[in-house]
Structure 1
Amino acid sequence: MDRTLRRVTLAALLALSAPAQSASGEQEWPERLVGHGGPVMAIALSDDGSEALTASFDYSIIRWRMQGPEGTIVARLIGHNAAVNDVVFVPGTEKAVSVSDDGALAIWDLRENRLETLIEDTKDKVQDVVVSLDGRFAAAARWDGTARIFDIAGGREIARTEGHRGNVNAVAFSLDGRQLFTAGYDGTVREWPLDDGLIAGPSRLLHAHGWGVNVLAALPGGSLLAFGTLNGVTGVIDLPTGEVVELASQEHPVLSIAASPRAGWFATGSANGHVRVFDMDSGNLVEEYGDIYGPVWGLSFTPEGTQLYRSGLDDFVIRWQVAPRHPLEPIQSVYPRRFQTVSRAGPGEMEFLRKCSVCHTLTPDDANRAGPTLYGLFGRVAGTLPGYKYSRALVESDIVWTPETVSRLFDDGPDIVTPGTKMPVQRLKSVERRDALIAYLLQATAADGKTPLPGERQTTN
């Protein structure tokens, strides 16, 4: 690895393009991107920085125009049936690709802001997606032990890797598209030769770390591959020589990674909220930022590399100015979040906050969360709330939500009571805690102060 320190002057960085300028000529980027109804799992900025895509636990993707203090929502893309884990723009096209906990890969038409193709397979989680620089192929890391390669124009799978033991967590294409890199729970990083998107031979073991490898990034220049691990190591593999250099490490898992070609930096985000920026050539730590209120699941640099957007447990994305650093950097995360509150008075409310509040509200407004509002729940026929896109299984269900059916939902689980629906599987086996939750919901979800009697249908809410 070239150990010469890359010197990027601040003047050169600030001279590069940005989506807007203030009256004084300074660059303006949104401080936050506000619009999701749940934690934000990933963010991707377009090459020119004018737009962004965010993927969320609320099952949606938002397309943003990077203007104003909180960004401008262009479109909300709906099509996945579970949390969306990653999303990327497709270079040279007006398309995007996303992956989800539902096991599907989605191809989006950004000219019309619609779902173009949904490629479904098993229900195994898909954690990571990357697109080749020529925009022809997408690769996805699946938790069934494989990585899949897709022809984007054709909307179909064309190849898959097999060889990892356990989850495949991360994928990356080489800059020329002739290699695919994969990393997984088994602690290995592998290289697969490609010929026109197809696997052209056996894999080569690049690194056996021992602990699981969570993230990968092919760095600009084509000779370096960065990785981050479950035990907090950030490392770089020199592909021509096979040399592996471990950089400044930490105790917490590395969960996200992003690179800035113009600045010559790459950044990692960790489970304890720390963001570290490294110089690509020297491996030196350039900057570091800490937010103690949760993990960093997503990172994306602005084109010139002076700003870095990060996402995590908050319903919004936060901007951090890497260069020049602000003397005061207030933490913008909200803590405790609604699902982390531990000081509420009643046990029923506690169960709601922990089990339900990530996906549901108690007010007529659903706040763009993953599930429908619970306002007016009791007496409502399942799958009938106007404006919410239910799964077919729930639309065709004859369940009426009563204290008894809601209790059974938490006792047996959604997979038993409402099979085939989008509801995540969770159970509450304690009768005392379940009864407390039901009692709280009866009071908190009452529409217009009136709680319907058990079995009384309420289909207008």
Structure 2
Amino acid sequence: MFRLLLALAVLLAQPVAAQELRGHGGPVRALAVSPDGNIAISGSFDTSAILWDLARSQALAVLRGHDSSVNAVAALPDGRFATGGEDGRVLLWRIGRPEPEARLEGHSGPIASLAPSPDGKLLASASWDGTARVTPLASGEAVVISGHRGPVSAVAFAPDGSSVVTGGHDGTIRITPLNGGVARSIDTGQPVAGLVVAPDGEIVAGGADGRLIFLAADGPRAGEVTAAETPIVALALSPDGRRIAAAGIRGSVAIVERASRRVERVLVGPGLPVWSLAFRPGSDELLTGGGDRVVRRWNAATGEHLGAVVMTRPSEATARFADHPGAEVFRACSACHTLDADGGNRAGPTLYGVIGRRIATAPGYDYSPGLRGMTIVWSKETIAKLFELGPNAYTPGTKMPEQRVVDPDDRKALVDFIAKATGAE
């Protein structure tokens, strides 16, 4: 018996197997991972960002502060996170705080890209207003970088932080010194949708014709490779600088070895656009976010889709009603909500006992101020209405990502499943 208990204890102590991350109600537009590799942040067209515990494959918090889609995110060296929205604002967040710690104003158009400086003291933002801004995170005035003829879609720092590299819809890449020197402009001949700067200073840009263009640190072309048959919409550089991930508009992701300019392998998902990429420091893991609202996880060295076979143990309620038609619909909710009596709160409140409970009264959960004065009592009918109209329309001010269940049969199955799984029936 002792050996059995010991074996069970060892098994339960093992890290949770990597899973897809589900919780957004719209395409996942942006991804970043903290320098220690423990936490990811995703931004979505649903106007929210979500912080994820990668070891547990669970949502930690839903961040709501933008008026429209979250197009860019960044993980800062000091433990904070930054989000950039279509509303032109940059917000800074700290784990455990439901509201932004700071708001960076100045852009007059959507934010397309964010990048922290190597020392973590500056944050660069690229915008469709035609400029990039370099803002001190402690105090001081932002440096405004202009010169592009049209939207600026990508921004990155040189490895030593002395200059900022920007890419625009005008087909140019600009290298702008921060010490007041003269900026250099390189014409790539195609709109630039993403760029990265390697530890040795090499610049890699992806464009509308599916090619990756390699530039030396001071601008001259150093090579190119065809990574996709369709426009490249996102790039990511592995932490060691050896590999580049390039996402095409049709959903494929090419893994390119930078030194040899060779496509090592192509990751193929469900065929929907992949809008965002991020490598996880300390591992070979690559995160991809796309039009299916899911953050997928891959081993970039082997091409294996992580979580496709090995899944975490389902909750007791989920296991008990696994054959219910609403169980599959609930999968998108499980990242933020638990069903069991001992499940507790996650990014969203526990659903145990939700039927018959007044809105914003689950113990221990920090609700949005706008919900606390509402008088909605959750029933099968009101939950169905929530998913019919969407959280923003039915419960204005909510932190819940915009998530609608349009099909009436799916909506009924979901509501019936929640009622059964939480003991209401």
- With normalisation by structure 2, the TM-score equals 0.66
Residue 181 of structure 1 corresponds to: 165
Residue 118 of structure 1 corresponds to: 102
1:308 aligned onto 2:292? no
* Alignment deviations for residues 245-290 of structure 1 (CA, whole Å, 9 cap, x no partner): 43132125352311556xx63311425353423234xx52163253
The alpha carbon displacement at 1:146 in A equals 4.8
Which of 74, 87, 91 matches 1:105? 91
> How far apart, CA to CA, are the structure 2 residues paired with 1:168 and 1:334?
37
Instruction: Give the letter for the 2:366 counterpart.
Output: K
Residue 279 of structure 1 corresponds to: 258
SS for the counterpart of 1:446 is: helix
Residue 450 of structure 1 corresponds to: 424
Higher relative CO (Cα under 8 Å, sequence separation at least 6) belongs to 2
> How far apart, CA to CA, are the structure 1 residues paired with 2:339 and 2:331?
14
The alpha carbon displacement at 1:311 in A equals 0.9
> How far apart, CA to CA, are the structure 2 residues paired with 1:167 and 1:347?
46
Which of 25, 31, 41 matches 1:42? 31
> How far apart, CA to CA, are the structure 1 residues paired with 2:146 and 2:364?
42
Which of 226, 229, 232 matches 2:210? 232
- Distance change (3 Å), C-alpha of 1:331 and 1:163: same
> How far apart, CA to CA, are the structure 1 residues paired with 2:334 and 2:79?
33
The alpha carbon displacement at 1:374 in A equals 4.5
* Aligned pairs (5 A) from 1:67-86: 81=65, 86=73
> How far apart, CA to CA, are the structure 2 residues paired with 1:124 and 1:418?
28
Residue 218 of structure 1 corresponds to: 197
Aligned length: 378
SS for the counterpart of 1:206 is: strand
- Distance change (3 Å), C-alpha of 1:330 and 1:193: closer
Residue 10 of structure 2 corresponds to: none
SS for the counterpart of 1:247 is: strand
1:332 aligned onto 2:306? yes
The alpha carbon displacement at 1:427 in A equals 5.6
Return 5+ residue gaps in structure 1 as ranges.
1-29, 65-69, 338-343, 452-461
The alpha carbon displacement at 1:392 in A equals 1.8
- Distance change (3 Å), C-alpha of 1:235 and 1:273: same
* Alignment deviations for residues 201-237 of structure 1 (CA, whole Å, 9 cap, x no partner): 99764335444x3321122333x31112355322123
Instruction: Give the letter for the 2:114 counterpart.
Output: V
8 Å contact kept, 1:145–1:167: yes
Q: Percent of counterpart pairs with the same letter?
A: 26
> How far apart, CA to CA, are the structure 1 residues paired with 2:51 and 2:390?
27
* Aligned pairs (5 A) from 1:262-277: 265-271=242-248, 272-277=251-256
- With normalisation by structure 1, the TM-score equals 0.62
Return 5+ residue gaps in structure 2 as ranges.
1-14, 312-321
> How far apart, CA to CA, are the structure 2 residues paired with 1:444 and 1:31?
25
Which of 366, 372, 375 matches 1:395? 372
The alpha carbon displacement at 1:81 in A equals 4.9
> How far apart, CA to CA, are the structure 2 residues paired with 1:335 and 1:167?
42
8 Å contact kept, 1:189–1:205: yes
* Aligned pairs (5 A) from 1:244-393: 245-252=223-230, 253-259=232-238, 265-271=242-248, 272-280=251-259, 283-285=260-262, 287-292=264-269, 295=274, 297-300=276-279, 308-312=284-288, 317-320=297-300, 322=301, 330-334=304-308, 352=329, 370-393=347-370
1:87 aligned onto 2:74? yes
The alpha carbon displacement at 1:149 in A equals 2.2
SS for the counterpart of 1:217 is: strand
Residue 118 of structure 2 corresponds to: 133
> How far apart, CA to CA, are the structure 1 residues paired with 2:128 and 2:360?
30
Which stretch shifts more, 226-235 or 140-149? Answer: 140-149
8 Å contact kept, 2:279–2:287: no
8 Å contact kept, 2:42–2:50: yes
* Alignment deviations for residues 126-173 of structure 1 (CA, whole Å, 9 cap, x no partner): 55322222332111335666533221223x762445666776442111
Q: In angstroms, what is the RMSD of aligned CA positions?
A: 5.0
8 Å contact kept, 1:142–1:167: yes
